[in-house]
Amino acid sequence: MPTDGPNVVQLIFPYAIIFGIFYFLVFRPQKQKQQQMKKLIASVKKNDEIVTNSGIHGTVVNVKDTTVVVRIDDNARMEIDKDAIASVVAKS
């Protein structure tokens, strides 16, 4: 018995191609970026200069399990979550 419409494979194939494009252009790079941030946060140590997500620059004084103590001025220190670290500034 012949059918007049396209078969299931012909209907699903374009969606599979679109999903593949999204995976390689959106999902995969985002996942790699998250893994790099986890490595960066895990590698933070004392005397590293950091920048937080809110733009605060400081030097790490103490590293704890989930937080770090950052010196932002001569007599000013603050304790922040490790997840708030945006980047580690390379020393020149």
pLDDT values of the chain reduced to their tens digit, one per residue, 92 residues: 556 767 888 889 999 999 999 999 999 999 999 999 999 999 999 999 999 999 999 999 999 999 999 999 999 999 999 999 999 997 65
Question: Which range marks the domain in which residue 83 is found?
Answer: 45-92
| CATH classification of the domain holding 69 | 2.30.30
pTM: 0.70
* Gap between the terminal Cα atoms of the chain: 76
Q: Which two tokens stand for residue 14?
A: 């374009």
What the block records as the tokens of 65 is: 């399990």
Rounded to whole angstroms, the Cα distance separating 14 from 5 reads 16
Of 30, 24, 80, the C-alpha closest to 55 is 80
pLDDT of amino acid 91: 67
Q: Is 15 inside a domain boundary?
A: yes
Give the pLDDT of residue 7: 84
Is there a single domain that holds both residue 53 and residue 88?
Answer: yes
* Domain assignment of residue 2, yes or no: no
Residues 30 and 49 in one domain: no
> Residue 9's pLDDT is what?
84
